[in-house]
Amino acid sequence: MAWTWYNSRLVKNKDLTENVKHIQLQMETNDFEFKAGQFITMDLPIHEKRLKRWRSYSIATSPHEFSNNILDFIIAGVPDGLATKYFWEEMELGANIKFKGPAGVFHLPKVELENDIVFICTGTGIVPCLSMMNQLHQSGRKYKNIHLIFGTRWLKNIFVNSWLKKVEEEFPNMQCTVALSREERHINPHPFEITYGYVQHSIEENYKSPRENVDFYICGWQAMVDDVSKNLKAYGYRENQIHVELYG
């Protein structure tokens, strides 16, 4: 497959938490097309060898809200990472970023959505799921019910806090559960549901009894994705009901 390379420049660089950034790239061309849930691969000035310069990131923007040739990305830092050093210490507004794509099959099908959708994600694995949910909501495409199960360690790590607060107010038939794996129990000040433990616990509580009319979209670190996929199959769900994307 021949890749198409695009040129862009950095127009926004904002810290969402101490370890997560929101960046925006403005492209030079207006012919870029993508599906909600896909990713691009950036060629960053961090190494002499090509393959050590490439980093892939999911597009946070939904196709429906893509305007002015601007793409949004939510990027997590990695300890001692070359890309992390660049994004946090070296990159300046106006920097030129070359990328190729889009790529990836982690997206909703074109056919009518007849099943409930469960998005299961940890960390910045929520990004492609947000893109898909926003696309559904903004485009007016019909769907049944959506359950977002988002896992992170601490309450302070919920870098999409403002978006989650809007979910149950504006998105019909939408439920949001945040699973905190290391937070101590306290009064929940948020409109969305908070549980204490891993996303696996929420899945077991809600989906241990298998049914035909649900599809799972799972994105995050490999250990979580593997464990959740294995558990769902053990519960009796079919392979074609489980869709995965790995981070890291």
Instruction: State whether 48 and 143 are in the same domain.
Output: no
Give 14: exposed, middle or buried? Use CB within 10 Å, 0-12, 13-18, 19+: exposed
Give 78: exposed, middle or buried? Use CB within 10 Å, 0-12, 13-18, 19+: middle
Instruction: State whether 141 and 184 are in the same domain.
Output: yes
Instruction: State whether 138 and 52 are in the same domain.
Output: no
Backbone φ and ψ for 191, nearest 5 degrees, come out as -75, -25
Domain with 67 in it: what CATH number? 2.40.30.10
The pair of three-digit structure tokens given for residue 35, joined into one six-digit string: 């599906």
Instruction: State whether 235 and 203 are in the same domain.
Output: yes
Instruction: State whether 53 and 174 are in the same domain.
Output: no
Q: Strand 146-152 relative to strand 174-180: parallel, antiparallel, unpaired?
A: parallel
Residue 1: pLDDT above 60?
A: no
The packing angle between helices 199-207 and 222-235, to 10°, is 20
First to last CA, the chain: 23
Assign 165 to helix, strand or coil.
helix
Instruction: State whether 143 and 197 are in the same domain.
Output: yes
What confidence score (pLDDT) does residue 192 get?
Answer: 73
In a domain, 111, yes or no: no
The pair of three-digit structure tokens given for residue 100, joined into one six-digit string: 């190729």
Express as a percent the part of the chain with pLDDT over 70.
97
Averaging pLDDT over each range in 27-31, 152-156, 224-228, which range is the top one?
A: 224-228
Instruction: Read off the pLDDT of each residue in 118-145 and give the average, rounded to a whole number.
Output: 93
Whole-angstrom distance, CA of residue 211 vs CA of residue 58: 30
Residue matched to tokens 């660049």: 86
Instruction: State whether 42 and 87 are in the same domain.
Output: yes
Q: Check: pTM over 0.75? Answer yes or no.
A: yes
Calculate the alpha carbon distances from 126 to 97, 119, 136 in Å: 23, 8, 15
The pair of three-digit structure tokens given for residue 3, joined into one six-digit string: 């890749």
In a domain, 110, yes or no: no
Cα torsion angle, 31, 37, 43, 49, sign: negative
Instruction: State whether 134 and 78 are in the same domain.
Output: no
Calculate the alpha carbon distances from 182 to 43, 50, 153, 179, 202 in Å: 35, 38, 5, 9, 15
Instruction: State whether 185 and 238 are in the same domain.
Output: yes
In a domain, 182, yes or no: yes
The pair of three-digit structure tokens given for residue 150, joined into one six-digit string: 């988002």
Cα torsion angle, 153, 155, 157, 158, sign: positive
| 185: containing domain | 116-247
Q: Strand 70-76 relative to strand 39-43: parallel, antiparallel, unpaired?
A: unpaired
Instruction: State whether 137 and 97 are in the same domain.
Output: no
What confidence score (pLDDT) does residue 24 get?
Answer: 97
Per-residue pLDDT tens digits for 186-219: 766 666 788 888 999 999 999 999 999 999 999 9
Instruction: State whether 121 and 241 are in the same domain.
Output: yes
Domain with 154 in it: what CATH number? 3.40.50.80
Instruction: Read off the pLDDT of each residue in 212-227 and give the average, rounded to a whole number.
Output: 95
